[in-house]
Amino acid sequence: MRILLFGGFLGSGKTTTILQIAKYLTTIRQEKVVIIENEIGAAGVDDKLFANSGLQVKSLFGGCVCCQITSDLISTIDEINETMNPDWVIIEMTGLAYPSKTAMSLKKYSKVYSAFKTITIVDRGRWSELIAMLKPLVLGQITGSDLIILNKVDLVGEAIEKIERELHEIDEHMKVVIISAAKDLSLAVLEEVVCCE
Amino acid sequence: MNSEATIFSRHYCVFFEKSLTTVQMEILLREFMMSIGRTMSRYGTILGHIKLLAKLSELAVEHYLFLSLTTLDNVNVIPSKCWPNASGVH
């Protein structure tokens, strides 16, 4: 069982991107996928979008898995492994979570996965504003990720080259792919995202 | 997690005096999203995420429209598979 952990600020496009990744894994590669949907609020919205697409979803509501309900996430992954035995678990974190923090906890306490990848989605359209107003959170979400997806490149926003340069100032080896999740992702991007050791 | 974050979550039932088509309903929902967004944006950017799930009735759980807003004038709309086509009247 391999795990893809998706982070990124509120509204950056996590759900839209995951929908395409999950569809690719289930329909093209014929692999079994379970999605864990984490929302801070007591009720979820995104889980309905996954279920509407025929995907299996486990919901973790009422807290953030990176700092409030980490143990719930680990026990949910164990339970999924035992009862459903999927090829992939895709975790959608809340838009305020720090993916690397959760990755650290999972690597320490979960023994049921064979490969793991942390992916953070960056919103091109709001990059300048978010950096200006919420820099510690945005940088904290990016730091330690295995892959950055620069999303919404079809919308008006900061120059893509400038964002890439700023991302590489955080980590010069950071791998960045550029997408518009509102459109079909290329096979190269899909393969890059699921390339998981 | 950012401890300064605030989450507002509300559930409303709205009854219309006259029948509406799903297209008219979508226009109203877009305007509603924009009216919330305008009060929360900074230079057109919302430092958060406004989401709305509109169902035709409590019973029709699969008939919904999902609306999302992060940048003013750019409401993203996703209908469920069961959402009636444009001519549907409710």
pLDDT tens, position by position, A37-85: 998 776 778 888 888 888 999 988 878 887 777 888 999 999 999 999 9
How long is chain A?
197
Closest partner residue to A45 (CB to CB) among B42, B66, B71 is: B66
A51 inside 8 A of chain B by CB: no
Mean pLDDT of B10-32: 90
Q: Which of A10, A68, A134 sits opposite B49 (nearest CB)?
A: A10
- pLDDT(B21) > 80: yes
Q: With 90 as the cut, is the pLDDT of residue A194 above it? A: yes
Alpha-carbon distance B28 to B22, whole Å?
10
Cα separations (Å) of A54 from A48, A51, A187, B23, B80?
A: 10, 5, 21, 26, 11
Whole-number pLDDT of residue A184: 96
User: Cβ separation of B64 and A48 shorter than 8 Å?
Assistant: yes
- pLDDT tops 80 at residue A126: yes
Q: Which of B1, B8, B56, B65 to mutate to test the interface with A (most CBs of A within 10 A)?
A: B1
pLDDT interval class at A168 (50, 70, 90): very high
Q: Which residue of A has its CA nearest to B75?
A: A11
Give the span between the Cα atoms of A112 and B9, in whole angstroms. 35
Which residues are bridge partners to A59 per DSSP? A37
Tell me how far apart the alpha carbons of residues A177 and A128 are, in angstroms, rounded to a whole number: 19
Residues of chain A contacting B11 with CB distance shorter than 8 Å:
43
When pLDDT is averaged across residues B38-58 and rounded to a whole number, the result is 89
Q: Where does the pLDDT of residue B58 fall: very low under 50, low under 70, confident under 90, or very high at 90 and above?
A: low
> So what's the ipTM on this one?
0.83
Q: Which amino acid is at A149?
A: I
- B48 and A64 in contact by Cβ < 8 A? no
Q: Chain A: residue nearest B70 by CA?
A: A11
Q: How confident is the model at residue B4 (pLDDT cuts 50, 70, 90)?
A: low
Does an H or E element contain B51, and which? strand B45-55
Residue B79 phi, psi (nearest 5):
-85, 150
Please state the rounded mean pLDDT for residues A108-131.
94
Long-range contacts of A185-189 (CB under 8 A, 24+ apart): A185/A17, A185/A20, A185/A21, A185/A24
Q: CA B77 to CA B53: how far, in whole Å?
A: 10
A13 against A69, higher pLDDT = A13
pLDDT higher than 90, residue B82: no
- Please list every residue in chain B whose beta carbon sits closer than 8 Å to the beta carbon of residue A125: 45, 70-71, 74
The neighbouring-strand residues paired with A177 are A149
A48 contacts B66? CB cut-off 8 A: yes
Choice between A40 and B67, residue whose per-residue pLDDT is larger: B67
* pLDDT tens digits, A56-65: 999 888 788 8
Residue B49 and residue A12: Cα distance in Å, rounded? 9
Interfacial A residues in 110-129 facing B (CB < 8 Å): 123, 125-126, 129
**Residue B11: is its pLDDT beyond 90?**
no
Q: In terms of Cα–Cα distance, which of A125, A174, A137 is closest to A13?
A: A125
> Which of B25, B24, B49, B88 has the alpha carbon at shortest distance from A94?
B49
Q: Do B45 and A129 touch (CB under 8 A)?
A: yes
Instruction: Tell the burial category of A85 from Cβ atoms under 10 Å away from its Cβ (0-12, 13-18, 19+).
Output: exposed
Per DSSP, the three-state class of A122 is strand
Fold of A2-194: Rossmann fold (3.40.50)
Nearest Cα residue in chain B from A16 = B78
Among residues 62-91 of chain A, which lie with CB inside 8 Å of chain B? 64, 66-68
Judged by a CB distance cut-off of 8 A, whether residue B71 touches chain A is yes
Domain ranges within chain A, ordered by starting residue:
2-194
Q: For residue A96, what are the CA distances in angstroms to A6, A142, A169, A196, B50? A: 12, 12, 22, 24, 14
Residue A17 binned pLDDT confidence (cut-offs 50, 70, 90):
very high
State residue B86's pLDDT score: 55
Q: Touching check for A20 and chain B: CB below 8 Å?
A: no
**Which candidate from A123, A126, A137 shows the least CB-CB separation from B2?**
A137
